[in-house]
Structure 1
Amino acid sequence: MDSEQHGQDQRAVPSVGATPPPPPRQPPALPPRPPAPPGATVHPLVTWLRMPRPKAGPGIWRAGHKPRAAEEPDKVPTRQLLVGAVASALVGWLLGSLLWNGYLGQFWIWPLLLLTPDDAFQSMYFVVASWTYYAVVFGGIAVFFGRLGGWPELLRRTRAAVRQANANAEAAQGAPPPPPESDPALWPQLRADGAEAAADALAAELREGRMTDVDYARIDHAWRTGRARAEITEQVRARGAAACAHGSGARDLPARAAQHDLPLRQVRIGAAADSPRNPYVYRGAGIALDPAVLGTSALVVGPSGREPAEGIVGPVIESLCLQALAGQAAVVAVTSAGSAAPQNRAFDVVLRAGDPSIAHGLDLYAGLDDADEAAAVLAEALVGDLTEASRDDRWAATALAQLLGPWRAVHDRFPGVDELRDLLDSEAARAALRAALDEREATAHLRELDAFERRSAAPGGPAEALSTRVALLDRPAFHALLAAPGLGDAAGDRAVFSMQHIDRPVRVRIDLPGRVHTDASRIIARLVLAQFTEWAASRRDQSVFAFLVLEDAIQTVTPNSLRGLQSLRRSNAGVLFSLRNLSDIPEGLRDHLLAAVGCRIACVGVSSWDAQHFATAWGTEWVETEAITHRQVRAEHPGTKVWHAVRKMVTGRDVTTKSVTMRREERQRWSPSQLANEMQTGHAVISLTAVTGERMPPILTKLGG
């Protein structure tokens, strides 16, 4: 299928093979920033682009992020510090007043009297010496009680609060712009490459509010890829901010539900809770997802369904749709009724079971031409959930290949669902295929067909199991969804979407009737997963980030899908599995799935059984524990015994001594009990791994915060 069938120009970067103009020997000087007219306001997008984005670890929302110390400092509460400072000042003032007025005697001036000669008491020397001595004494008292009361720390906090207030005031009024050579609003990269005219035009579009963040990300990405820069420059001259537009012509989504930072390709999903359970460096930081961490694939488990859908799955789909409009990503979302995914208008291709009016059908064979490859993918969808990890799973693929190969040799295409069902069920259909092969003298394919019939005739042959699963798809509700290219009238006038097109920035939504046709929907979900992993790993051009979202991943995880998942990390692709419970996955595959994905998210309400798997996957860490021991003190002398008796009468407790022991021990980062019982509504524990290997430990996160 060509791109015209999709109605898309699937590349945001022009495909014209023009060579970019040679850069000048020295980058041209940036023009002076045009003065803003009195009373003019800076466009919000300009302010957003100029926001600082310091380097941070994986999963940290970097826009406006303020790094914290690695460890929490020993900090006295401000109220307690203020009370101590006032109390110490009063005591110091009282002591100084008593000394100055002589209420404590004259002993404190003896050092001055001893160091003064007898004939110098009436001289200027004594006056200077005495005032110097008084300054030293009272200065020492001030320093002593100042440090005792924490005045230096109180002053530091006061200065920090003033600086923060000034910074907030500046932020409210608009921070001063950065230098021209680092101002993203002036497009310094284009200027450095010699495209001053295009940079000036884009800067004007941005300054006057005719550009969206999608436009900025799309043009910047197209330029940085270094492809057809001459055509990009021409499009900027002719179309301004609409240059290099997505094939759909869309420059934004109809509506947004999450906060996005397209320059960094991040979507904010929440904020790390200010809890002792979180490392100090993460507390209060924004938590975000981007291709750098989604490229390791993700697992989201949440029994309620609301937190995973609205807090994580929906924002991820929305972010990838925006990135697709910027020419950076391709997303395939498998959803169901009541989905938190964006509206259908946010997608280029919408596939829906039971709707004959849909404009696209799903290629049953993923655009594959080889019968063995097509059979392997289809077998994974049909009976992949019946395969155990220790069992040879090639029987179904072999049986299907023995039918698909001969059929393609005769009809020059693969069979549709109804035709495949006839081949599995009907000896008459296989006899007609045999007769057609005899006419073509296709000896090799005849041997394949004979082998299938011998295996099917034996007890427990593959035909029965395969036929039962194909019959689930041979229903009117799925006739408009599943298609085999080349069927002609059987496929109607609909275009056929093939998973091979995920190397282009395409947005695809597949709606499945999970409640009515449960088994068939799960087969199609496994089919989409198998097709996605097959094509994502074999793409020649992997510059576009390809991502699959399975909003209800029940019975989609199989031994084969886990093996395919491992290859996606190095192929700039990933999969998000959303589950209500890990029990929806075969028991022998649960730990394997947690080990295969790099992003693990446990939402509130997980069961203790599921929490045990997460706790095991997150492992242990070394912590310092404090053990306090109380030992009763036994008096030996009569006076001490009387004193202890009085204390016990007053306090009601025996007289004891306390000993504190510090030790290091290894504990689980999150125990199953904590995960299952201590999380509050709207929270999740999230651990992330980047494709580079960097990790974020499990962090308690308030979703949407």
Structure 2
Amino acid sequence: MNKRFPQLDAVKKKLAALAEAISHPPDEISHPVPVVSTQPWESIRSSQPALASQLDQLAAAADFGDVDRARIAFALRQTAADPASLERLARAIEADRSAALVHPSRQRDLPGARFARHNLLAGQVRLGEVVPDHRSDFEITGDFGIDLDVLRTSMLVIGPPGSGKTRGIATPIVEHLSLAALAGKASMVVVDPKSTDFAYDGWFDVTIDPLNPTCGFSLFGGSRTADVAADRLASALLPPQVSDDKAYFIDASKNALYACLAPFEAAYERWPTVPELLGLLRAEQSSIDRVKERLKGPGSKELKALLDTRKNQTQRTADPAASLVERFALLDRPALRRLLDHPGPTFQMRDLSRPVRVRVALPEAEYPDASRILARLVVSQFVQITSSSETDRSIFKALVIDEAGRFVDDYVARGVQKLRSNNAGLVLLSQTMSDFPIEVRATIFGSTGCKAVFGGIDPQDADVFSRWFGDQYVTETTINRSAQTGTQYNQFGMPDGRSQSQTSGFSVRRIERARWTVSDIITGVSAGHALVSLARSNGARVGPVLVNLRA
């Protein structure tokens, strides 16, 4: 019996009775998305009865899984207004049956057992179960899940080592994004600093691994102009607080990169390899002469002047781009050259406009500095591509970053605000807010719509989350007691002992207190649990909710 909140026992009994009376399919999520009772192609039954009947027969096939259903439903939504596209879809279904419009990997499901329950039609994954608590918005138990629209607002997850950030939140989300990509609805990039946290067979189409470079990685991310390529590459190479006069040195580094990239791209109609770009940055005369010889036609004079400007910079007492050159030299290693100058297939970040699944395995033990540069390149390129007007808004694009504090700069922090309108989002996991550079902490915290925090975090972080979760009104009852003493007299007016009387009273008032205090967050959130607040792309917010991620 709950003495503080007896009404919860009645709610639990009702829910237990309902649970026995109602059985949900294993791939459905009972809360908060309702069960879908009709087929996803009901909308075309009147206009395309033959196609709808064909899909009904297909749905009854033994090999028709939830990925197939979601893939065909998504294709229908994309082509519903175009009769010619519907006709092509009908021919594809007639020819390939359940494998119609299959993902380029030919996968129709992930190998092995799933980590979480998924509703691919609704785009939702179950994370755990709501724990009843008077401080939460939900005071009943039930499944707790998130969907792709929630992830559009981006998510910040803070928890100490071993708290369950990866297993409880990141892994189910990555699994769902991988399934959504097979359904044609999403693309994703996962930054894996430990190289093993997300190394699941069949989850990814591309693995960027400097120690085993089966696929290359474009250093310039598909940038179409030299100025954009120079800005992104300089931001990734130079960490925050690279010098006392940060703005001057970073601007000089961007100008130095542009002075090398623009002439080379005009001369060769491609971007330079790592050794070629390093030779130009160091203003080696042989490298400059080779580029100048190929520069002809209008504009060649200005481009040659850029190379001369870079050479003049190196001859100063202090080269303002010296830090950039030295850090770029960290990439001039045999293993990294095989990745960045790969002769075979190469992944470019603009490929995210199709449903591709990418894992970036960082060899921090072997190449710590180069791994951080590579991760910063991946993150900045993702924000650059997905926030541009050329991105495909029809599919959701996600970037999941473990140990995110080391790889996020001010450009990325500002870019988070632009992703929502382009159907993209970030999932940032970190042990503490202190891992983020101090100049971006407030921006990152304010720009991410969803928050998840685990117990045992730093008191400063707990204070930030406590204030974010807000206050609530509580009733405070104050009881006042007072005692009075005096002298008792007999009938003759003589003292006859002492008397004592007692009075009492009480007052009731409503006061505001923190919904979740700093102490509640640090010590009151059990292992395997997290406090989660969510936001939707339309601005609606829910939370905080205490969730049992192990339920």
Q: Same fold (TM over 0.5)?
A: yes
Name the residue aligned to 1:275.
133
Comparing 512-521 and 384-393, the one that deviates more: 384-393
Change (3 A) 1:204 1:276: same
1:514 correspondence with 2:361: no
1:688 correspondence with 2:534: yes
CA contact (8 A) 1:353 1:478 kept: yes
1:530 correspondence with 2:384: no
Please state whether the residue corresponding to 2:252 is helix, strand or coil.
helix
Aligned match of 1:596 in 423, 429, 447? 447
Report the Cα offset of residue 693 of structure 1: 0.4
Separation of aligned partners in 2, 1:615 and 1:173: 38
Aligned match of 2:103 in 243, 246, 262? 246
Name the residue aligned to 1:234.
91
Amino acid corresponding to residue 302 of structure 2 in structure 1: A
Aligned match of 2:247 in 387, 391, 394? 391
CA contact (8 A) 1:313 1:340 kept: no
Please state whether the residue corresponding to 1:686 is helix, strand or coil.
strand
1:222 correspondence with 2:75: yes
Name the residue aligned to 1:190.
44
Separation of aligned partners in 1, 2:267 and 2:478: 83
Name the residue aligned to 2:483.
633
CA contact (8 A) 1:259 1:268 kept: yes
Aligned match of 2:311 in 441, 450, 453? 453
Q: Once the two structures are superposed, what CA deviation does each residue of 1:550-594 show, in whole Å capped at 9, x if it has no partner?
A: 122232221111122221111110111111222221123212210
Amino acid corresponding to residue 233 of structure 2 in structure 1: L
1:212 correspondence with 2:65: yes
Aligned match of 2:188 in 316, 320, 331? 331
Change (3 A) 1:540 1:172: closer
Change (3 A) 1:444 1:614: same
CA contact (8 A) 1:299 1:578 kept: yes
Aligned match of 1:402 in 252, 255, 259? 259
Amino acid corresponding to residue 200 of structure 1 in structure 2: S
1:609 correspondence with 2:460: yes
Change (3 A) 1:342 1:251: farther
1:369 correspondence with 2:221: no
Name the residue aligned to 2:350.
500
Aligned match of 1:199 in 52, 55, 77? 52
Aligned match of 2:282 in 407, 410, 425? 425
1:475 correspondence with 2:333: yes
CA contact (8 A) 1:298 1:576 kept: yes
Change (3 A) 1:371 1:170: closer
Please state whether the residue corresponding to 1:327 is helix, strand or coil.
coil
Separation of aligned partners in 2, 1:693 and 1:459: 54
Aligned match of 1:171 in 23, 27, 45? 23
Aligned match of 1:700 in 538, 546, 549? 546
CA contact (8 A) 1:272 1:284 kept: yes
Q: Once the two structures are superposed, what CA deviation does each residue of 1:209-236 show, in whole Å capped at 9, x if it has no partner?
A: 3211111111011111225111111122
Report the RMSD for the aligned CA atoms in angstroms: 3.1
Report the Cα offset of residue 315 of structure 1: 0.9
CA contact (8 A) 1:324 1:507 kept: yes
Q: Once the two structures are superposed, what CA deviation does each residue of 1:7-30 show, in whole Å capped at 9, x if it has no partner?
A: xxxxxxxxxxxxxxxxxxxxxxxx
CA contact (8 A) 1:349 1:508 kept: yes
Separation of aligned partners in 2, 1:249 and 1:298: 31
Amino acid corresponding to residue 349 of structure 2 in structure 1: M
CA contact (8 A) 1:297 1:598 kept: yes
Structure 2 gaps of 5+ residues are 27-35, 490-495
1:666-685 alignment runs, 5 A limit: 667-685=513-531
Separation of aligned partners in 2, 1:642 and 1:252: 92
1:298 correspondence with 2:155: yes
Change (3 A) 1:376 1:163: closer
CA contact (8 A) 1:318 1:342 kept: no
Amino acid corresponding to residue 678 of structure 1 in structure 2: G
CA contact (8 A) 2:280 2:288 kept: no
Q: Once the two structures are superposed, what CA deviation does each residue of 1:430-452 show, in whole Å capped at 9, x if it has no partner?
A: 44246426776821111212222
Separation of aligned partners in 2, 1:564 and 1:482: 25
Alignment TM-score, normalising by the size of structure 1: 0.69
Please state whether the residue corresponding to 2:129 is helix, strand or coil.
strand
Change (3 A) 1:636 1:171: farther
Report the Cα offset of residue 465 of structure 1: 0.6
Report the Cα offset of residue 387 of structure 1: 6.0
Amino acid corresponding to residue 483 of structure 2 in structure 1: V
Q: Once the two structures are superposed, what CA deviation does each residue of 1:449-501 show, in whole Å capped at 9, x if it has no partner?
A: 22223333334433311111111111223223213xxxxxxx33x20111111
Change (3 A) 1:169 1:395: same
Change (3 A) 1:340 1:403: same
Amino acid corresponding to residue 562 of structure 1 in structure 2: A
Change (3 A) 1:324 1:282: farther
Change (3 A) 1:162 1:264: closer
Change (3 A) 1:630 1:263: same
Aligned match of 2:417 in 548, 563, 566? 566
Change (3 A) 1:643 1:598: farther
Alignment TM-score, normalising by the size of structure 2: 0.87
Report the Cα offset of residue 187 of structure 1: 4.0
Amino acid corresponding to residue 436 of structure 2 in structure 1: I
1:465 correspondence with 2:339: no
Change (3 A) 1:656 1:525: farther
Report the Cα offset of residue 672 of structure 1: 2.6
Amino acid corresponding to residue 664 of structure 1 in structure 2: I
Change (3 A) 1:479 1:191: same
Report the Cα offset of residue 656 of structure 1: 6.2
Please state whether the residue corresponding to 1:480 is helix, strand or coil.
helix
More helix per residue: 1
Amino acid corresponding to residue 433 of structure 2 in structure 1: L
CA contact (8 A) 2:133 2:139 kept: no
Separation of aligned partners in 1, 2:295 and 2:276: 20
CA contact (8 A) 2:263 2:295 kept: no
Separation of aligned partners in 1, 2:393 and 2:518: 39
Amino acid corresponding to residue 402 of structure 2 in structure 1: E
1:416 correspondence with 2:273: yes
Q: Once the two structures are superposed, what CA deviation does each residue of 1:303-361 show, in whole Å capped at 9, x if it has no partner?
A: 215511111111111111111111110111111336432614221112211114x1x10
Separation of aligned partners in 2, 1:303 and 1:451: 49
Report the Cα offset of residue 381 of structure 1: 0.9
Report the Cα offset of residue 526 of structure 1: 0.9
Change (3 A) 1:658 1:355: same
Please state whether the residue corresponding to 1:385 is helix, strand or coil.
coil
Separation of aligned partners in 1, 2:348 and 2:77: 29
Name the residue aligned to 2:32.
none
Name the residue aligned to 2:30.
none
Amino acid corresponding to residue 216 of structure 2 in structure 1: G
Aligned pair count? 524
What is the percent sequence identity of the aligned residues? 32
Comparing 448-457 and 254-263, the one that deviates more: 448-457
1:313 correspondence with 2:170: yes
1:352 correspondence with 2:352: no
Name the residue aligned to 1:54.
none
Separation of aligned partners in 2, 1:295 and 1:207: 34
1:549 correspondence with 2:400: yes
Separation of aligned partners in 1, 2:47 and 2:143: 35
Comparing 335-344 and 292-301, the one that deviates more: 335-344
Structure 1 gaps of 5+ residues are 1-72, 79-156, 175-181, 484-490, 646-653
Separation of aligned partners in 2, 1:170 and 1:676: 38
Please state whether the residue corresponding to 1:287 is helix, strand or coil.
strand
Please say which structure displays the higher CA radius of gyration: 1
Q: Once the two structures are superposed, what CA deviation does each residue of 1:617-640 show, in whole Å capped at 9, x if it has no partner?
A: x1533413313233133366969x
More strand per residue: 2
Please state whether the residue corresponding to 1:330 is helix, strand or coil.
strand
Q: Once the two structures are superposed, what CA deviation does each residue of 1:514-536 show, in whole Å capped at 9, x if it has no partner?
A: 23222111111110111111111
Change (3 A) 1:460 1:571: farther
Separation of aligned partners in 2, 1:643 and 1:624: 43
